[in-house]
Chain A
Amino acid sequence: MTTPDHHEIIKQICDYMGEDLDGEACKEVQEHLALCPACRVYFDEVKKTVTLVRRVEQPGEKMPDDVKERLFKVLDLDELMNR
């Protein structure tokens, strides 16, 4: 049985992680993730971390009215503000 070159695969997983985590990945990496628990766990954890941060940061805050008012005032657009 040939052992896949772990380091090479890990490097690919790293590259893969620079991409969209749900996007098309190269077949070899997908196969490796299916077979190698260590890499799989690592990958799942990165993915979970990103999902959590995204959930916490999205949808963001409603801009406070006073912030908006000051913005329109600075821009000299006070009378044109949508309230």
Chain B
Amino acid sequence: MADARVDQAAPPVLELRGMTKRFPGVLANDRIDFDLRRGEVHALLGENGAGKSTLMNVLYGLYHPDEGEIRINGKSVAIGSPKEAIEHGIGMVHQHFMLVPVMTVTENIVLASEPRQGGIFLDYDSAAERVRKLSDSFNFAIDPDAKVESITVGQQQRVEILKALYRGADILILDEPTAVLTPQEADELFGILGTLQREGMSIIFITHKLREVLEIAERITVLRRGKKIETVPREGSTQDTLARLMVGREVLLRVDKTAAAPAEPLLTVENLSVVDERGLEAVRGVSFEVRAGEIVGLAGIDGNGQTELIDALTGLMAPENGRVRVGDRDVTTENAHQHLEHGVGHIPEDRQRRGLVLDFTLAENLALHDYRKSPNSYFGWLRPGRIVSAAKSLLKEFDVRGGGPQTRASSLSGGNQQKVVVAREVSRDPRVLIAAQPTRGLDVGAIEFVHRRLVEERDEGRAVLLISLEIDEILSLADRILVIYEGQIVAEYGPDVTEQALGIAMTGGTREGAAA
């Protein structure tokens, strides 16, 4: 069915030949060939740091290639800036949306397209009308007059896509679009991509989720360490074959673990209420415990109080009510530093805003919690030698690629940044490990690794609280599953609950009568 849509005879809409991009000390793209046919969805797969984002940034004019040729519709072109990329019909949706929150959808779309001529004297109404038409023709369900800050992440992403369409893009690049989406939103996105494809749009799709690749891509190109490994059609590919192509070895896609042997409770939460920044009660009277030797999964749709709960459990936000105990110690009113001292580890959901100081080196980042402690410092004096050598072995152990201890965190690929955070938190041997989206943006090999580490932590007698938006991740790791909905725990399940049951609970379906 897919091939019917793809015109095989015509020249590819886009062709990259011998693309090479070097960064100091890193060959990010090594003579990569790539082609995109009209109307196809072409997935770009690869491990963290394989060079996917770099390749796309070169195509979009954000980086300048050291070598290589870009051909559009058979003609060789030079793309020196995003503006030129747009002129050639290339649109890119970054993972970090580039929208102005206080402006309306229309303003965001139109202002960005016509910054000079129109200025503020644009005919807003007719612009809004055009946006509405465009949105309706693709079933985007976007209100052109809504303020961007008031719409969901999934809708913001659609605004980004609309922006590209409005500027006349016929090649759309999506860099890990589903990493920030809930599974439901991801399904909606796939629907939209299908529509676009039928209209003749050609799409490059970067993701780490093999299931998604098999769901929507016609062809799949795999990169490994800057080199193109192969381009394969979807037919005949399985998650296992793709994983092997990516990583170059067999990957265990299922988590291998024995039954949990929970012991004494290490994290006890009683009747906890937390008020968020807007003064609304985001967590409402939550009670649960996590025992030594078990992984408790907290499932829920984004925005149901998870963020505030995590902040309260880690001392980053003072709860309104209730108590939190770590072991026998009441830590309710203690600050982040004291939480760390009492053995709470925390993999934050947002690594760039919170988990890393991007301008610090990896060694400095790895020492973030313990730079004041003894081998790292001595009466207030840092010992860079110790910090660097400790970092060296951690980076090796956690297979962080793309830099050494003295590399700045900002120059690592997204997935490798995440590995640095995980390395720091896990290596501190916390009694309680709070892992929020620990595998967001990681490749399959790295996910396997992190999952194995979490299970190992459990087996060593730590209490692990896993907060994830991915039902899959919760199901494969958790020994016990709690469902959070509108700030309350609405259901609790054992490890063999079905995906459907969980899904229903996450949308509030079991609220009445469920054990709190």
A joins B in a complex = no
* B interface residues, Cβ below 8 angstroms from A: none
* A interface residues, Cβ below 8 angstroms from B: none
